[in-house]
Structure 1
Amino acid sequence: MRNVIILAAVLLVASCKKESQEPFGKTEATTETTTEITSTPENLGKELFEGKGACIACHRVETKLVGPSVQDMAKAYKEKNGDLVAFLKEEAQPIMDPSQYEIMKANFAITKAMSDDELKEIEAYIYSTMK
């Protein structure tokens, strides 16, 4: 009987500790702010760039890999008033390194399946990397 009482006391103390360790004053506004920050077009575009789009396999932000760097793409398309979304839909000619265009063609199946909003988010991410 004594062991049961000790066990109950230990469980009671342990359960009280968990409650006191939870964050105090957590509000919905904090959750909404976090969601707003993570759901900017640039952040969503980065997620698509690195995930569903698989762009990260050939493009790095600052350095050329297989394809040009993301910063170089942003600069070239901005300077030449290019349309990245049209290019990703294969509706516009490449502005950068046409010799790499054949390699990029294999990826158009992925980008053509994306919505216009998703492509605009990727575009927003690319332009956000400009220094």
Structure 2
Amino acid sequence: MRHIVIVFFAALLITSCSKKETDPNVETNVMMEEPVAQSTEEISTEPGAEGLKMIQGMDCLTCHKVDARLVGPSYQEIADKYTEADMDMLAQKIIDGSVGTWGQIPMTPHAGLSKENAKKMVEYILTLKK
């Protein structure tokens, strides 16, 4: 069993350290298209359902989890710290990016996201308040 684990990690190390061929003409920091609901039939009537769908369609879950810290705070931690009075400020942080509130790792800005949709995402996060 120990040998299998060693071989696995060695393969992982070799793969992650290998030089990747990149096309210098390709933009690597491409802004993702803003997610939109396909139809009103797809949207649940649950509070925050639209925001959850947007979160799932973007890169948010790369750094955040609902109930545990990953790169950034969990959505549960955010909900416990803030109230609906902070909705505009939190939506703007999603759009502009942020650093310092939860540590020194910056949150990536989402400049292509509308304030209205950022608020929907915050609305979902705040539904997780304990």
Aligned Cα RMSD in Å?
2.9
What is the CA–CA distance in structure 1 between the aligned matches of 2:96 and 2:74, rounded to whole Å? 20
* 2:71 counterpart letter in structure 1: V
Q: Percent identity?
A: 29
Q: Structure 1: give runs of 5+ residues left out of the alignment.
A: 1-33
SS of residue in 2 equivalent to 1:89: helix
Residue 86 (structure 1) aligns with: 92
What is the CA–CA distance in structure 1 between the aligned matches of 2:69 and 2:76, rounded to whole Å? 10
SS of residue in 1 equivalent to 2:92: helix
- Say how many residue pairs are matched: 90
Larger RCO: 1 or 2 (CA < 8 Å, sep 6+): 1
Task: Give the deviation of 1:90 after TM superposition.
Answer: 1.8
Q: Structure 2: give runs of 5+ residues left out of the alignment.
A: 1-39
Q: TM-score, normalised by structure 2?
A: 0.57
Q: Which runs of 4+ in 1 moved over 3 A?
A: 34-37, 79-82
Q: TM-score, normalised by structure 1?
A: 0.56
What is the CA–CA distance in structure 2 between the aligned matches of 1:45 and 1:79, rounded to whole Å? 14
Residue 126 (structure 2) aligns with: 127
Normalized per residue, the structure richer in helix is 1
SS of residue in 1 equivalent to 2:82: helix
From 63, 68, 72, the equivalent of 1:63 is 68
